[in-house]
Structure 1
């Protein structure tokens, strides 16, 4: 005991502040992870322009298009060129 106060009473405010900071940080982290996440979808289709066939892939996240890619298909074999 120093100056008439026990040691535990001197460190109690620091412990309370540290615990409160830990609880607030944990709560904010959990809240950030609970948000609904958009689903990513990949669609494929064959597009024709005259005699040319193309295989096109579209990648979407939610309603946003992230990527579109098209490759020409061989007219005889149907394989990618």
Structure 2
């Protein structure tokens, strides 16, 4: 079992990296108690159609699992969990 503190750090690191890598409208880190997935969750709204490769890369480096979401007009909602 992975330590919750390390999981939180991984999600926060990925959130910062995504903010720096692509134009975003919002990036949030959601605690397990507030997440529908019962785990540390990253939620980001990026200004692109589809998940940008830079975002996929950061999620992979952090060891996060991408949770598919439908497009929201010109934005993509990215949800990933530890």
TM-score higher than 0.5 = no
Which structure is higher in RCO with an 8 Å CA cutoff and minimum separation 6? 2
Greater fraction of residues in strand: 1
Q: Larger C-alpha radius of gyration, 1 or 2?
A: 1
User: What band does the TM-score fall into relative to the shorter chain?
Assistant: under 0.3
TM value normalised by structure 1: 0.25
